[in-house]
Amino acid sequence: MATMPDRAELQRLLEVATEAALAGSAIVRSFLGKIEAEEKGRSGDLVTAADRASEAAVLDILQRHCPDLPILAEESGAIGGNPDSPFLWAIDPLDGTTNFAHQYPFFSVSIGLLFAGQPIVGVVADPYRGELFRAAKGLGATRDQLPMQVSKADRLSRSLLVTGFAYDRRDTPDNNYAEFCYLTHLTQGVRRGGSAAIDLAYVACGRLDGYWERGLSLWDIAAGILLVQEAGGQVSAYDGSLIDPSSGRVLATNGYLHQSLSQALATVPRLDLWQADPATWPKVGD
Ligand code: IPD
Ligand code: CA
Ligand code: CA
Q: Is 41 exposed, middle or buried (0-12, 13-18, 19+ CB in 10 A)?
A: exposed
Closest residue by Cα to atom 11, ligand 1, is 164
Among all ligands shown, which has an atom nearest to the Cα of 96?
1
C-alpha of residue 284 to centroid of ligand 3, in Å: 35
Q: Are the C-beta atoms of 14 and 139 separated by less than 8 Å?
A: yes
Domain final position from 123, 147, 171: 147
Tens-digit pLDDT profile for residues 208-266: 999 999 999 999 999 999 999 999 999 999 999 999 999 999 999 999 999 999 999 99
Assess whether 189 and 80 both reside in one domain: no
The residue range of the domain holding 194 is: 156-280
The atom number, within ligand 1, closest to the CA of 213 reads 11
C-alpha of residue 133 to centroid of ligand 1, in Å: 18
Q: What is the phi/psi pair of residue 120, to 5°? A: -125, -15
C-alpha of residue 283 to centroid of ligand 2, in Å: 33
Mean pLDDT of 13-25: 98
Provide the 3-class DSSP secondary structure of residue 259.
helix
Taking CB atoms and a 6 Å cutoff, what residues make up the pocket around ligand 1?
A: 92, 95-98, 164-166, 194-196, 213, 215-216, 220
Tens-digit pLDDT profile for residues 177-218: 999 999 999 999 999 999 999 999 999 999 999 999 999 999
C-alpha of residue 37 to centroid of ligand 3, in Å: 12
C-alpha of residue 285 to centroid of ligand 2, in Å: 32
Q: Are the C-beta atoms of 20 and 92 separated by less than 8 Å?
A: no
Tens-digit pLDDT profile for residues 63-82: 999 999 999 999 999 998 78
The atom number, within ligand 1, closest to the CA of 94 reads 16
Domain final position from 147, 169, 195: 147
CA angle 13, 70, 200 (to 5 degrees): 60
Tens-digit pLDDT profile for residues 135-149: 999 999 999 999 999
Tell me the C-alpha distance between 201 and 222, whole Å. 11
Least confident of 8-22, 53-67, 259-273: 259-273
Q: Which of 54, 100, 216, 225 to mutate to test the pocket of ligand 1 (most atoms within 8 A of CB)?
A: 216
C-alpha of residue 75 to centroid of ligand 2, in Å: 10
To the question of pTM greater than 0.85 for the whole model, the response is yes
Residues 6+ apart with CB under 8 A from 50: 27, 28, 31, 32, 35, 94, 100
Q: How far is CA 20 from CA 123, 163, 180, 199, in A?
A: 9, 27, 34, 20
The atom number, within ligand 1, closest to the CA of 97 reads 15
Q: Is residue 46 part of a domain?
A: yes
Instruction: Kindly indicate the confidence band of residue 168, based on its pLDDT and cuts at 50, 70 and 90.
Output: confident
Q: Any idea what the CATH number is for the domain that residue 226 is in?
A: 3.40.190.80
What pLDDT score was predicted for residue 172?
Answer: 87
Assess whether 121 and 177 both reside in one domain: no
Among all ligands shown, which has an atom nearest to the Cα of 93?
3
Among all ligands shown, which has an atom nearest to the Cα of 44?
1
Q: Which amino acid is at 60?
A: D
Assess whether 11 and 127 both reside in one domain: yes
Number of folded domains in the chain?
A: 2
**Is the confidence at residue 39, as pLDDT, over 80?**
no
